[in-house]
Amino acid sequence: MKILLGKEVCEKLHEEISREARSFEDAPKLLAIVVGDDPSCLCFVNSKGRKAEALGAHFECLNLDASLSQKEIEEEIRKTIKRLNPDGVILERPFPKHIDFTKLTELIPPCADVDCQRMDNMGRLLSGAPRHIPATAGAVLEILKFYDIHTAGKEVVVIGRSQTVGLPLSVLLLAKGKFADATVTVCHSKTNNLEKHTRKADILVAAVGQPKLVSADMVSEEAVIIDVGTTYVDGKLTGDVDFDSVSKKVSAITPVPGGVGPVTTAVLLRNLINAVKYRKEQHN
């Protein structure tokens, strides 16, 4: 059994990102927007900020009070984007229930939408011409590429249909190429007999945020398991897969933490570099 560590994937991506970032006259600017004080969200944001700055980017976090109205939050975002003029903007989930997330995404300049959160950019991805690939979905693909795990002709089962991971990842895996061309099954909360689908998977991607949802009896031997889930249980970050039991059966698996998470940040920063290039092209 091989553990698919994100660290080695990140090192390769960071080398590429650093080289390109040094070629810019000005440091790329990344703005993260947080509404509320969710501790896990703030932890992830601070981690992104440290990694962005380590690679020579300027990072700023706009942390807004959850009691603010939709109108007040929109106004604060507009003012901050106008002041900072960022190359990349990301809205950090979760958001308060009274906030219309989609309306907020419309405030992000299209080329600065480095996590593909705008509806028009998601439409471009679904049609095969993405500006940016959502960072977590992109991280899954980067892990498969780094460890040379081909998906062409394989049975890939994705648990989860979110616009952040499950939906875009399933579309990307259906595209053409040796790290695509898969036969994809997407499972979700309404799927009956989940294990019937997961047992046939050559590659299983779990991305629903339900700790230890996937047990050893739900997977086949020789399967490759990509665990995207991140949930704090008793203060410990836990994945969607029961790592201890599943890892004894399958051929390869990502750990939580240390698997998809750090690669997600690296892909986001690569998207930031690409956003700078898009902006330069528009000005030329």
The domain limits of the chain are: 26-111, 135-260
Distances (CA, A) of 102 to 57, 117, 204, 276: 27, 8, 29, 24
Let me know if the fold of 26-111 is the same as that of 135-260: yes
Average pLDDT of span 177-203: 96
What's the rounded Cα separation, in Å, for the pair 135 and 266?
8
CA 94 to CA 88: how far, in whole Å?
19
**pLDDT in the model for residue 178:** 83
CB 160 within 8 A of CB 188: yes
Lowest-pLDDT range of 22-31, 155-164, 209-218, 257-266: 22-31
Q: Is 132 helix (H, G, I), strand (E, B) or coil?
A: coil
Q: Which residues contact residue 173 at a Cβ distance below 8 angstroms, ignoring those fewer than 6 apart?
A: 151, 156, 158, 180, 182, 184
In contact, 213 and 246? CB cutoff 8 Å: no
> What's the angle, vertex CA 253, arms to CA 252 and CA 256, rounded to 5?
160
pTM over 0.85: yes
The mean pLDDT of 51-61, rounded to a whole number, is 92
For residue 157, give the nearest of 206, 109, 191 by alpha carbon.
206
Nearest-angstrom CA–CA distance, 9 and 191? 33
CATH number of 26-111: 3.40.50.10860
Mean pLDDT (whole number) for 208-235:
95
| pLDDT class of 177 with cuts at 50, 70, 90 | confident
pLDDT of residue 284: 63
What is the model's pLDDT at position 254?
98
Taking residues 116-139, report their average pLDDT.
95
| Cβ–Cβ under 8 Å, residues 210 and 240 | yes
The tokens for 233 are: 């249980």
* 135-260: CATH topology: Rossmann fold (3.40.50)
- Specify the pLDDT at position 11: 94
Residues 6+ apart with CB under 8 A from 280: none
Q: State how far the Cα of 74 lies from the Cα of 62, in Å rounded to an integer.
A: 12
Are 138 and 10 in contact by the 8 Å Cβ rule? The answer is: no
pLDDT tens digits, one per residue of 65-92: 999 999 999 999 999 999 999 999 999 9
Is the pLDDT assigned to residue 43 strictly greater than 90?
Answer: no
Q: Show the CA angle centred on residue 20, arms to residues 59 and 61, nearest 5°.
A: 10
